[in-house]
Amino acid sequence: MQNSPLHHFDFRFVLLEGIHATAVETLATSGYSRVDARPGALTGDELLHAIADADFVGIRSRTRLTEEVLRHAPKLLGIGCFCIGTNQVDLEAAALLGIPVFNAPFSNTRSVAELVLAEIVMLMRGIPEKNALLHRGGWMKSASNSWEIRGKTLGIVGYGHIGTQVGVLAEHFGMKVVYHDIEAKLSLGNAHQLGSLDELLAASDVVSLHVPETPATRNMMDGTRLGAMKPGSFLINASRGTVVDIDALADALASGHLLGAAIDVFPAEPKSNDEPFVSPLLRFDNVILTPHIGGSTAEAQANIGREVAAKLARYANNGSTVSAVNFPEVSLPAHEGQCRVLHIHHNVPGMLARINDRISQAGLNIVAQYLQTTQHVGYVVIDVDAEARQVAFDELNAIDGTIRCRLIC
Ligand SMILES: NC(=O)c1ccc[n+]([C@@H]2O[C@H](COP(=O)([O-])OP(=O)(O)OC[C@H]3O[C@@H](n4cnc5c(N)ncnc54)[C@H](O)[C@@H]3O)[C@@H](O)[C@H]2O)c1
Ligand SMILES: O=C(O)[C@H](O)COP(=O)(O)O
C-alpha cells in the first residue's frame, strides 16, 4: 500500500457497471473531475488494469473485489458499492488494507418493495402463464388458480429495510403479514413475528425473501424448506441468488407443489447484457424471471449515485467514515485552517500510546483528535496546525503497525 500526502483533488475515481450520472455530478461538485465512468462490469485482467491506478472505485453488485484484486490496486483509498449488497467485496481484506467500503443502504428499497407487491398480484392471478400462452396465440380465460391477494398470508423472511416496506404495502392490499427474522424486530402495522422459518413456511400463501447473503442464508430455501411451504403457494426472491437452491425450486415447480415463483436474482448471473442467461427455470411459464432489476429504477439509481458519491467525496476530502460497512466509523467536522492526518493502523495493544508519544516527542500541538476501532483496525484522525503537517505526517507514518497514513489540508 502506498502512503502519500497527495493533494486530495488529484484523486482518480473509476466507476464501473453504468453507475448513474448523478455520481459524476456529485463528485464534480465536490471538486473531483478525474472520473473514469464505464458501462459494464469487468473481470480478470481487465478489472485489474482498470483499477490499478485508482484512488477510489465504484461498483454495483456484479464486480467481485477479492483480496487478490484489491492487492493489485495499491493506491486504493475507498470503495463505493452503488447498491445495497456488499457481499461482492472482501470486506475484511479491504479493512486490513485500510480501505473503507461504503454503500447505499436505503436508496433502492422502495423500488424492490413495489416490484414484489406487483409480483404477488401477478402470481396469484396466474398472469405469467396466461401472458406467455397469449403471446403464443393461446386463450386461457379461466378463474382456476386465480385469487385476490386480500385476506391471504404473506410470509416475509428478513424483516429489514425492504421486508418492512413490503409488509406495509401488502397490508394496504388487505394481506395478513407474518415474518421471520433472526433479530427481534418492531412490527409495523399488524405484522406478526413468528418464532421460526418453518412456522412461516407452513403459514404463508406467498413467501418473499429479503435476507442478505451470509453463510446462514446460503441455500436457505433448499428442497426441504421448499417442501415445507404450503402446497399451491408461491415463492419470491429479490434478495440474493445464493439464498434459493434453484434446482430444488425447479423440482418443486415441476411437481406442482409450488404454483409459481418470481425470481430476480440467481446463483450465477451474466456479467453483461451481452452474455446469455442460462437457468433450469427457463421452461416454466408460471415463473416471472427478471434480470436483477429489483433496484433498477430511475429514482433509485439517481439517489444511489448521489448518496454513495457523496460518501466517497466526504472520505476523500474530510476523512469521515460514517456508515462505512467494514471500518471504524468516525464523524468528522470541517477542518478549515488546519491540516488533518488520517492514520489507519492494526488494532494492537499500545498503538494509541505510540501515536501520542510520537506526537508529544515531536512537540506537535494537537488541535483535535478522534479515534475509533474495530476488532482488527484502528482509525485515528488528528488535526494539527498547517505548518506542522509534514512533521505530523512523517511521525505517524513511521509508526510500526501503520496500514495507511494520509494528509488532508
Ligand atoms: N434485487 C435487487 O435488485 C435488490 C435491491 C436491493 C437489495 N437487494 C438485496 O435484498 C436483501 C435485503 O435488503 P435490505 O435492505 O432489506 O437488508 P436489511 O439488512 O435492511 O435487512 C435484512 C434483514 O434480514 C435479517 N436476516 C439476516 N440473516 C437472516 C437469517 N438467516 N434469517 C432471517 N433473517 C435474517 C436481518 O436481521 C435484517 O432484518 C439484501 O440481500 C440485498 O442485497 C436486492
Ligand atoms: O444490492 C443491491 O442493491 C441490489 O442487488 C442491486 O444491485 P445492482 O446495483 O447491481 O442492480
Q: How do residues 10-46 score in pLDDT, each as one tens digit? A: 999 999 999 999 999 999 999 999 999 999 899 999 9
Give Dmax (Cα) for the chain.
Answer: 86
Q: Percentage of residues in the chain with pLDDT exceeding 70?
A: 98
Q: How do residues 36-95 score in pLDDT, each as one tens digit? A: 999 989 999 999 999 999 999 999 999 999 999 999 999 999 999 999 999 999 999 999
d(CA 245, CA 225): 10
Note the ligand closest to the C-alpha atom of 196: 1
User: Which residue is closest in CA terms to ligand 1's atom 12?
Assistant: 210
d(CA 261, CA 30): 44
Whether 295 is in the pocket of ligand 2, judged by its Cβ within 6 Å, is yes
Note the ligand closest to the C-alpha atom of 237: 1
Residue type, 337: G
Whether 264 is in the pocket of ligand 1, judged by its Cβ within 6 Å, is yes
d(CA 220, CA 216): 7
Active site residue 150: no
Picking from 288, 307, 409, the residue whose alpha carbon sits closest to that of residue 27 is 307
Active site residue 354: no
Q: Do residues 234 and 259 lie in contact, with contact meaning Cβ atoms separated by under 8 Å?
A: yes
Task: Exactly one of 60, 292, 314, 335 is catalytic; name it.
Answer: 292
Note the ligand closest to the C-alpha atom of 308: 2
How many angstroms separate the alpha carbon of residue 56 from the centre of ligand 1?
Answer: 26
Could you tell me how many residues make up the chain? 409
Q: How do residues 380-404 score in pLDDT, each as one tens digit? A: 999 998 888 899 999 999 999 999 9
**Crossing angle of helices 109-124 and 127-135, rounded to 10°:** 70
Active site residue 340: no
Q: How do residues 326-379 score in pLDDT, each as one tens digit? A: 999 999 988 888 899 999 999 999 998 999 888 888 888 888 999 999 999 999
Predicted confidence band at 101 (pLDDT cuts at 50, 70, 90)? very high
d(CA 199, CA 394): 60
If DSSP codes are grouped into helix, strand and coil, which group holds residue 37? strand
Q: How do residues 198-253 score in pLDDT, each as one tens digit? A: 999 999 999 999 999 999 999 999 999 999 999 999 999 999 999 999 999 999 99
The pLDDT, as a whole number, for residue 363 is 86
How many angstroms separate the alpha carbon of residue 384 from the centre of ligand 1?
Answer: 42
ipTM metric: 0.99
